[in-house]
Amino acid sequence: MKKLKAIVFDVDGTIADTEKNGHRVAFNLAFEELKLDWYWSVAEYGILLSTTGGRERLLRYIKESHPNFKPTKKSLNDFIIKTHKIKTKFYLQLLKMGNIKLRPGIARLIKEARDKNIILAIATTTTYANVELLLKTNLGSDSINLFAVIGAGDIVQNKKPAPDIYQYVLDKLKLNSDDCIAIEDSYQGLCSATNADIRTIITDNSYTQKQDFSKSILHCNHLGENENPCTIHNNGNNLKKIIDIDLMQSLL
């Protein structure tokens, strides 16, 4: 039987529900600071999430909702970079407040993987600083070191659903794709991982629960805890209600 050697986590929406009450709120605060009358509702942000990457998402919004918008002193690209930096400032403040918690089963699975000498890695479009503070706030000051590789932000040219970030992680780990399982929350993330030939578990959320996850090896609402079992949406007839290492091993 093939042995599970590594778990590769997405971050936003997977490790924590960062989108609705994190990134969305931070973007709205950035718009307010820049004296723009723009506001992303929960529903509108859900539509924008089909575009991966904060800067890319903002560019799409401007093209679709404000096609005649022209920054007063900067190019559109410079404006987007500036706005995203302001948004990141507010997002980090939200993280420091401790209001963005890990999803069920994340801390448990990380501990179990470490106890069983399984490598942990991250493949995400968010910035390294965002990842580091999210982990530090929830798992302790040295928690970034639990992960052997952090593939984050603009470290690769093409963002999800392209496989680049997962291929980067595989190259850094010096592992084959069939040594690993990815954990994602969205169709774009699933495509990114499976296009790198990595088997993928989906833990959906309110934004992604109706997306097509037919290519996943398992689709559930979260990883599960003893007191908060998960609901498995596919391949679940005889499976436990907690996603643990033994179960993941059986999916290889």
Q: Looking at residue 48, which CATH number applies to its domain?
A: 1.10.150.240
**Total of domains in the chain:** 2
Whether 199 is in a domain gets the answer yes
Q: Which of 55, 80, 96 is the last residue of a domain?
A: 96
- Does residue 179 have a pLDDT over 80? yes
DSSP secondary structure code for residue 223 in this structure: -
| Tokens encoding 192 | 């990114």
Residues 238 and 123 in one domain: yes
Q: Do residues 61 and 152 share a domain?
A: no
Closest to 114 (Cα-Cα) out of 131, 139, 97? 139
CA distance 55 to 180: 30
Give the end of a domain, one of 81, 96, 111. Answer: 96
Same-domain status, 110 and 234: yes
What pLDDT, on a 0 to 100 scale, did the predictor assign at position 237? 56
12 assigned to active site: yes
Structure tokens at 11: 């971050």
Q: For residue 127, is it left (φ>0), alpha (ψ between -120 and 50) or beta?
A: beta
Q: For tokens 């503070």, what's the residue?
A: 133
Strand ordering across the sheet containing 119-123: 149-151, 119-123, 6-9, 180-184, 199-203, 218-220
* 121-147 average pLDDT score: 94
Residue 1 lies inside a defined structural domain of this protein:
no
Query: Over pLDDT 90: what percentage of the chain?
Result: 86
Distance of CA 65 to the CA centre of its chain: 26
Query: Residues 10, 17, 164, 204: which is the catalytic one?
Result: 10
Note the pLDDT tens digit of each residue in 107-127: 999 999 999 999 999 999 988
Q: Please tell me whether residues 83 and 128 are part of one structural domain.
A: no
What are the pLDDT digits (tens) for 15-58?
999 999 899 999 999 999 999 999 999 999 999 998 988 999 99
Which segments within 115-207 are labelled E, that is strand? Answer: 119-123, 149-151, 180-184, 199-203
Q: Is this structure's pTM higher than 0.75?
A: yes
Tell me the pLDDT tens digit for each residue of 185-243.
Answer: 999 999 999 999 999 999 999 899 999 999 999 999 999 999 999 998 876 555 678 99
Catalytic annotation present for 212? no
In a shared domain, residues 218 and 108: yes
